Structure 1
Amino acid sequence: MRLGYYAHHHGSGHCRQIDKLAALLPVDAKRQLIVFTSLSLDDYAFSCLDEQQIIRLQAEDECADDVLKGRAGEHWQPASLHYSPVGNSNIQKRSHQILDTIYQHHIDLMIIDVSVEVAMLCRAASIPYLYIRLPGIRDDTPHLNAFAGALALLAPYPRLLEATMTPEWVGKKTLYLDFINTAQQKELTYREFIEILAKLNTSNLKDWEEDTSTIITVIKGYGGHEAIDMKLPELRRLLPSAFIISLGPINDNMRCHVDIAAQVNDVTPFIQHSDYLLMACGLNAVAQVYDYATPLVVLPDDRPHQEQEVMAQALIDQERALSWQQFKTLLSHKQTHTNPNGLSANKAQTKSTSKSSNVNRNKDCLTAAQEFMDSTAEYPTTKAWFEKWLLPKLELNPDY
């Protein structure tokens, strides 16, 4: 089958998701994959796909000459759509781009990540599609219609982290791909990690063989970091002797609360060797840290449909993460029973050798995603794939 993939333009996570999935495809199938996105090349350059495979779509912003706004009043807005301006020339052009490309490239199956409007466009044009299900509360009419119109739903996270309020039929129609991590980063020793810190900050070097400071890494993305930055002064007050590292964007007036503020290409050593990780709950970020044993403190960003709040609560319920309040309570308890840095007596001894924390990494974490991508390359037609692979996998039988 020939695949098409629609990647939403908000943040870079949607494009990054198909980049990871594309890496799992055989070479011939990968070359036939087409990605649709209105994200520019400057905002995201694909690593597994050639630029000629990317259809850079027109933006869908409202225009001054629209006949109706994108979110019109009652009786002027279809209940099946979130956003649908009327007379918008850009949306007319992008709709033509999508449909014409699907026809010209003989795309058999679309994967939509995420857009109710593109899903409805495909369904109305009789184009089979799968819909990516992100975490959060998505029980509104447009989402439920998009889910119902899909051949199946794809969840790029483990079934264990499914929200309890998810409708039963939605869960049954979902393929859980688990977290997808295709990059094989070399894991560094503790000494090599300290060498990285020394290069990032030569003005505040420590004797790490003797020092017992708690190392805290705060990981932030470009989808929004102000809320996490606002926690930095309190974090410094809670742990005045800790070595605090901020990775990603940071407000200038918050730099004084951290020891290192930097941008890095690989966060793996920081995940592996920190005592605590503080971060929001974006899907790609959680996927990176989930299989490590390093304690995780979640500070979810405000997102539509409570996407990050629901993911954060699922991680807390699975005892894989702490809330900010739980973290503060834990620190208070540790500082009462241990040394002032909040470390156990043998922590310094552990640090001097290695602090590898990925003892719980799942070696088969790619199995579900790999099986899914292999299946799309195995069957010549969508109908054969749907009837012989997908429906038996879901244990479903549509009511014709």
Structure 2
Amino acid sequence: MTRPIGYYVHHQGAGHWHRACAVAAALDRPCALLGTFTGIDTAGTPGPVINLPDDRLAEGFDGRDGEPERPLSLHYAPLAHSGLRTRMARIAAWAAETDPALLVVDVSCEVALFARLLSLPTLVVRLAGTRTDLPHLEAFRSADRLIAPFPEVLESAATPDWVRAKTHYAGLLGPAPAAPDGGEDGSIVVVFGRGGAGGARADLAAAARALPERDWHVLGPVAGEAATPPNLHLHGWVPDVEPWIARAALVVGGAGDGVVAAVAARGKRFVCLPEERGYGEQVEKARGLARLGAAVLHEGWPNPARWGELVAAGLALDPGRIGSLAEPEALARTAAFIAERAAWWERRGDAAPIRAIV
């Protein structure tokens, strides 16, 4: 009987969930998704879903994260948190009951190390940015292999050689590349993902007024009050950003994995405004895109006077640069890599425990 695979999904934003579902659907063996899925529609998920208790601290909690005494190999280990205890207990129970071949961890240093204590092989997803702190390095060291959801050409210069050697560069695990269909309408599409703070209505209105000859379509959350010019269209959450990106002459957005993958798949000219993330994840990726001539980079939201220059620079980009980063077989290649490691551990078998002499 084929042993299943587990995929641990981090709750920040929606990118981890979408990536997990895409990988699970491409695998040739059962794959269970484990995580906190509050607010996510799990209907139609390609495999079992194990919904774990939330491990976040409640609003207004006194922050007993135990930081003064927290082991240096952990990022997050709050004390006296029953949700965290139950969460880890359910992961252990799932592992004991299903005997998985391995666990993909996307992402959590603590879950990666906990899986090692459970004698469960892991493939740890390694996000972009400078992740040379002790908790990340120990999670990487504990893993069988690492999966980077970006092309090797975007690798950080600070990444140690031994980490690179363990890494499978998955590429951009987004929609399949699609040829331009000639249906561009000259619009500018601004995309805000679930993992960030969203946009400010006043800032967007000022940007739209700076280029009144173009329609601006904004996808994702927008906060605040301001008069809206007629060329600014606020759509909120949309079920699929791809049709909007397909019609756009230019895309403006952060450097999250989902946005970059969607822009690359369509080969769209891109003005990248990286958002603040831990370990410089988005800034590092955005700088890599700019270095390749695949995007125009601006760190922070531009003032209105800059928009004309930025849009002109974006429209002057060669869209083939970012389009070349979209690999048609990236998802299938990564699913095959995960399946190969699972099969390797199955062939190896469990280590024989030493039996006590009574």
Shorter-chain TM band: 0.7 to 0.9
Aligned pair 1:61/2:61, yes or no?
A: no
The verdict on how the C-alpha distance between 1:235 and 1:219 changes in structure 2, with shifts beyond 3 A counting, is: same
Q: Distance in 2 between matches of 1:87 and 1:382?
A: 39
Aligned pair 1:128/2:121, yes or no?
A: yes
Tell me the alpha carbon deviations over residues 83-116 of structure 1, each in whole angstroms, 9 at most, x when there is no partner: 1123432222111100110111111101101111
Aligned-pair CA distance for 1:118 = 0.6
Alignment-derived partner of residue 33 in structure 1: 31
Q: Distance in 2 between matches of 1:81 and 1:307?
A: 19
Higher CA-based Rg: 1
8 Å CA contact retained: 2:129, 2:281: yes
Aligned-pair CA distance for 1:22 = 1.6
Alignment-derived partner of residue 291 in structure 2: 317
Equivalent AA in structure 2 for residue 308 of structure 1: Q
Aligned-pair CA distance for 1:180 = 1.5
Aligned-pair CA distance for 1:37 = 0.4
Q: Distance in 1 between matches of 2:35 and 2:182?
A: 39
Q: Distance in 1 between matches of 2:204 and 2:160?
A: 38
8 Å CA contact retained: 2:65, 2:77: yes
8 Å CA contact retained: 1:218, 1:278: yes
Aligned pair 1:240/2:212, yes or no?
A: yes
Q: Distance in 1 between matches of 2:191 and 2:254?
A: 8
The verdict on how the C-alpha distance between 1:35 and 1:166 changes in structure 2, with shifts beyond 3 A counting, is: same
TM-score norm. by structure 1 comes to 0.74
SS at match of 1:289: helix
The verdict on how the C-alpha distance between 1:359 and 1:55 changes in structure 2, with shifts beyond 3 A counting, is: same
User: Alignment partner for residue 89 of structure 2, among 89, 96, 105?
Assistant: 96
The verdict on how the C-alpha distance between 1:298 and 1:112 changes in structure 2, with shifts beyond 3 A counting, is: same
The verdict on how the C-alpha distance between 1:45 and 1:362 changes in structure 2, with shifts beyond 3 A counting, is: farther
Tell me the alpha carbon deviations over residues 332-371 of structure 1, each in whole angstroms, 9 at most, x when there is no partner: 4998xxxxxx999xxxxxxxxxxxx789856982434313
Write out aligned runs for 1:259-270 (5 A).
259-262=232-235, 263-270=237-244
Write out aligned runs for 1:233-382 (5 A).
233-251=205-223, 253-254=225-226, 256-257=228-229, 258-262=231-235, 263-324=237-298, 331-332=308-309, 361=323, 365-377=327-339, 381-382=343-344
The verdict on how the C-alpha distance between 1:229 and 1:303 changes in structure 2, with shifts beyond 3 A counting, is: farther
Aligned-pair CA distance for 1:8 = 0.7
Q: Distance in 2 between matches of 1:276 and 1:287?
A: 15
8 Å CA contact retained: 2:268, 2:322: no
The verdict on how the C-alpha distance between 1:332 and 1:153 changes in structure 2, with shifts beyond 3 A counting, is: closer
Alignment-derived partner of residue 112 in structure 1: 105
Q: Distance in 2 between matches of 1:333 and 1:134?
A: 28
Alignment-derived partner of residue 7 in structure 2: 5
Q: Distance in 1 between matches of 2:274 and 2:326?
A: 28
8 Å CA contact retained: 2:190, 2:252: yes
8 Å CA contact retained: 2:205, 2:232: no
Q: Distance in 1 between matches of 2:325 and 2:25?
A: 17
Structure 1 unaligned residues grouped into runs of 5+: 195-213, 336-341, 345-356, 388-400
